[in-house]
Amino acid sequence: MQITLTDIERESYKESPVHSLDGRVKILATIAIIVFAVSLPRMDDSNFIRLAAVEAYLLSLILLARLNPLYVIIRFLAVLPFGLAMILVQPFIRQPFIDTFTIYPLALPFGITATYEGIYFGLNLLAKYIISVTAIILLSSTTKMNDMVVSARRLGVPGEFTLLLTMMVRYLFVFWIVLKRIRLAQQTRLFDIWNKRTPRKWVLEQMGYTISSLFVRSYEQGERTYISMLCRGYGSKKARVYMHRKKINSRDILFSATTATVLVILVLV
Amino acid sequence: MTPDAPIIELKDISYFYASSKTKALDNVSLMIYPGEKIAILGANGAGKSTLFKHINGILRPNSGKVFVKGEEITRKNIRTVRQTVGIVFQNPDDQILAPTVEQDVAFGPINMGLSEEEVGQRVAEAMKLVHMSGFEGRSPHHLSGGQKKLVAIAGILAMRPEVVVLDEPTAGLDPLTASQVMRVIEEMNMELGITVILSTHDVDIVPLFADRVYVVHRGKIESQGTAREIFKQHELLEHAHLRMPRIAELFELLRESGLDVDIKITPAEARDEILRLLEMRTGRQGQKNADNAY
């Protein structure tokens, strides 16, 4: 099973108390949680208790948001290898901020040795990584992409940047549909990357053609879109994201206060 | 009614793309007057889209001149020209660039430097004109092809142009949606007085829409006139890879079958002609019956 853009969009369109929160509040809470996690001491026993408490808080929000558990797990597993690659090397390197190392009794080739300190630091890193990824999954699954961009603008992110981001959101979906059409057209002619009757090299070539065709199409789309932008007066340096004024309501304040209280307690404990 | 001064004038323009040796436009001249409904009729690759890109100043001719409201298009007045002449592209995905309908329709007015209030007002007004009020918060990829086309039109109407150029507005739409789009185009001409120029190879919609028709073939204007005048020219239509409207073809067949009919090109005209024929026949039948009674 795989998670696609459609799945992420479907989850973000659900209705729940978390979904209905203002995007600004959710972005700030996510940033606060990530900053809290990464600012904890590099290696400390108390880290695990604190981070477990934050993870419990995030999981309760995921439950409240009625996100599909399988979707959350798959998204988490999909991102995990990127962090694991960084974490798994830690036992084998000598971190400059550690004074003394104790060799872990494990026989490895080429004179490679693992250390207890390295393993401990790797575990700290893993815990922080899990918190950050959970927070991001919660934010992106409970906030529509465009709402995130508009909220970022409301928080003061420069207009030029958010305008580009809104276009990126728009054309991400356009190209997702294009890719779906290409794959459908390939399937109608029995193309399957796992088909054992076709040589691997040929399958890779076809995948390469698909990716290169998407690149060419995106380049051409860019040209056509830019022309249409010019036709609508782009270039006046007045372009910005159009949005309504939105007030923070009592539920947003309650969520912000709860998140802040959780973090402050965990800092003080 | 056609006032003397044309709102758009193309004088002997020629253009060729760098990738091609043949001219995409070859000595094209045309004049369009305020409030007119013009159809540029031509087969695929005839040069219709290239012609449109000149009217909006996207392309500059290799030779010849383009005038909008009597002023030649230059770098200095290009922004005013684009405000006066709005262009609706064939593929709405080329034009709809924001993740919500409302944000997209607001794109043009924002570029015009209008206040937040004015932008909101124009967005609401344009959405109402295309009968899409209530779709403001929707994502474009959740809309049907016809709805996207209407949003693209709204994006141009929000800039309050005097001329709207539509490239193949009904291409790829089902008949009902195509009629809906054409009705909106009619309304913007009738109610707002906007000059409408559309390109098409759909010969069936031309008689219903156009005051005047230009036939383009291989970058040249082959003929111009009313739809009736154009669809009388069988050789021209064949030469330009076009055909008569289906209704006209039916009347041709009726004529070949020996009926004394005029060639009609719209459903309303066809109905009148058929009624006339029926009346003639019942008249003859009545006369026959009366004769037999004697």
Residue B22 · residue B66 · CB < 8 Å? no
Task: Give yes or no for B43 touching A (CB within 8 A).
Answer: no
Q: Quick one: B89 and B207 in the same domain?
A: yes
CA distance A48 to chain B (A): 40
pLDDT band at B244 (very low <50, low <70, confident <90, very high): very high
Chain B neighbours among A 191-230 (CB < 8 Å)?
A: 221, 224-225, 227-230
Give a yes or no: residue B81 inside a domain: yes
Q: Which pLDDT tens digit goes with each residue over B59-68?
A: 999 999 999 9
Contact A170/B99, CB-based, under 8 Å? yes
Give a yes or no: residue B284 inside a domain: yes
What distance in Å separates the CA atoms of residue B40 and residue B47, rounded to the nearest whole number? 10
Specify the pLDDT at position B3: 54
Residue B104 · residue B140 · CB < 8 Å? yes
Residue B114 · residue B122 · CB < 8 Å? yes
B58, B91, B99 ranked by CB distance to A230: nearest:
B58
Task: Give yes or no for A164 touching B (CB within 8 A).
Answer: no
A146, A224, A225 ranked by CB distance to B99: nearest:
A146
Task: Give yes or no for B122 touching A (CB within 8 A).
Answer: no
Q: Quick one: B127 and B55 in the same domain?
A: yes
Mean pLDDT of A198-213: 91
Q: Which residue has the tokens 């034009």?
A: B95
What distance in Å separates the CA atoms of residue A98 and residue A119, rounded to the nearest whole number? 12
Task: Give yes or no for B58 touching A (CB within 8 A).
Answer: yes
B261-290 core/surface letters (b: 16 or more CB in 10 A; e: else): bebbbbeebbeebeeeeeeeeeeeeeeeee
Residue B228 · residue B215 · CB < 8 Å? no
CA distance A244 to chain B (A): 9
B155: exposed, middle or buried (Cβ count in 10 Å: 0-12, 13-18, 19+): buried
Q: Quick one: B118 and B256 in the same domain?
A: no
pLDDT band at B1 (very low <50, low <70, confident <90, very high): very low
A200: exposed, middle or buried (Cβ count in 10 Å: 0-12, 13-18, 19+): exposed
Residues of B in contact with A166 (CB under 8 A): 97-99, 103
Q: pTM of this prediction?
A: 0.84
β-pair type (B8-15, B25-32): antiparallel
Give a yes or no: residue B2 inside a domain: no
Cross-strand pairs, B215: B41, B223
CA distance A267 to chain B (A): 39
pLDDT band at B2 (very low <50, low <70, confident <90, very high): very low
H/E element, B70: none
Final residue of a structural domain among B244, B259, B277: B244
Domain that holds residue B238: 8-244
Cross-strand pairs, B189: none
Q: Quick one: B139 and B222 in the same domain?
A: yes
Task: Give yes or no for A59 touching B (CB within 8 A).
Answer: no
Q: What percent of chain B has pLDDT over 90?
A: 79
Reduced to 3 states (helix: H, G, I; strand: E, B; else coil), residue B227 is helix
Q: Quick one: B97 and B195 in the same domain?
A: yes
Reduced to 3 states (helix: H, G, I; strand: E, B; else coil), residue B100 is coil
Give a yes or no: residue B1 inside a domain: no
pLDDT band at B23 (very low <50, low <70, confident <90, very high): confident
Specify the pLDDT at position A189: 85
* Cα torsion A153, A158, A159, A163: sign: negative
Residues of A in contact with B53 (CB under 8 A): 227
B58, B98, B111 ranked by CB distance to A227: nearest:
B58
Q: What percent of chain A has pLDDT over 70?
A: 100
Q: Which pLDDT tens digit goes with each residue over A143-171?
A: 999 999 999 999 999 988 999 999 999 99
Task: Give yes or no for B10 touching A (CB within 8 A).
Answer: no
CA distance A71 to chain B (A): 22
Q: Quick one: B235 and B260 in the same domain?
A: no
Structure tokens at A224: 């056509």
Task: Give yes or no for B161 touching A (CB within 8 A).
Answer: no
Q: Which pLDDT tens digit goes with each residue over A25-77?
A: 999 999 999 999 999 988 888 889 999 999 999 999 999 999 999 999 999 99
Reduced to 3 states (helix: H, G, I; strand: E, B; else coil), residue B263 is coil
Give a yes or no: residue B3 inside a domain: no
Residues of A in contact with B95 (CB under 8 A): 225, 228
Contact B111/A221, CB-based, under 8 Å? no
Q: How many domains does chain B divide into?
A: 2
What is the DSSP code (8-state) at residue B261? -
Cross-strand pairs, B148: none
Mean pLDDT of B16-34: 89
Q: Quick one: B251 and B225 in the same domain?
A: no
Q: Quick one: B41 and B163 in the same domain?
A: yes
Task: Give yes or no for A241 touching B (CB within 8 A).
Answer: yes
Q: Quick one: B239 and B249 in the same domain?
A: no
Q: Which residue has the tokens 């009388």?
A: B232
Q: Quick one: B260 and B197 in the same domain?
A: no
- Nearest-CA neighbor of B163 among B286, B265, B66, B280? B66
Provide the number of CB pairs (under 8 Å) joining chain A to chain B. 95
Specify the pLDDT at position B293: 65
Task: Give yes or no for B80 touching A (CB within 8 A).
Answer: no
Task: Give yes or no for B59 touching A (CB within 8 A).
Answer: no
Q: Which pLDDT tens digit goes with each residue over A112-136?
A: 888 999 999 999 999 999 999 999 9
| Alpha carbon distances (Å) from B75 to A233, B57, B86 | 13, 9, 17
What distance in Å separates the CA atoms of residue A165 and residue B93, rounded to the nearest whole number? 17
Q: Which residue of B lies nearest to A233 if distances are taken between CA atoms?
A: B111
Mean pLDDT of B80-108: 93
B83, B140, B141 ranked by CB distance to A233: nearest:
B83
Does residue B294 surpass a pLDDT of 70? no
Q: Quick one: B144 and B239 in the same domain?
A: yes
Total Cβ atoms within 10 A of residue A143: 22
Residue B50 · residue B25 · CB < 8 Å? yes
Residues of B in contact with A169 (CB under 8 A): 99
Q: Quick one: B227 and B93 in the same domain?
A: yes
Give a yes or no: residue B80 inside a domain: yes
Task: Give yes or no for A240 touching B (CB within 8 A).
Answer: yes
ipTM: 0.78
Contact B93/A242, CB-based, under 8 Å? no
Q: Is A138 left (phi over 0), alpha (psi -120 to 50) or beta?
A: alpha
Task: Give yes or no for A5 touching B (CB within 8 A).
Answer: no
What distance in Å separates the CA atoms of residue B98 and residue A153, rounded to the nearest whole number? 14
CA distance B275 to chain A (A): 48
Q: Which residue of A lies nearest to B99 if distances are taken between CA atoms?
A: A170
B132: exposed, middle or buried (Cβ count in 10 Å: 0-12, 13-18, 19+): buried
Task: Give yes or no for A156 touching B (CB within 8 A).
Answer: no
CATH number of the domain within which B152 lies? 3.40.50.300
Q: Which pLDDT tens digit goes with each residue over B129-178?
A: 999 999 999 999 999 999 999 999 999 999 999 999 999 999 989 999 99
Task: Give yes or no for B124 touching A (CB within 8 A).
Answer: no
Angle at B119 between CA B115 and CA B82, to 5 degrees: 100
What distance in Å separates the CA atoms of residue B228 and residue B247, rounded to the nearest whole number? 12
Give a yes or no: residue B24 inside a domain: yes
| Alpha carbon distances (Å) from B58 to B77, B78, B79, B89, B136 | 13, 9, 11, 12, 29
Residue A37 · residue A132 · CB < 8 Å? yes
Task: Give yes or no for A175 touching B (CB within 8 A).
Answer: no
pLDDT band at B119 (very low <50, low <70, confident <90, very high): very high
Does residue B109 surpass a pLDDT of 70? yes
What distance in Å separates the CA atoms of residue A152 and residue A123, rounded to the nearest whole number? 33
Task: Give yes or no for B89 touching A (CB within 8 A).
Answer: yes
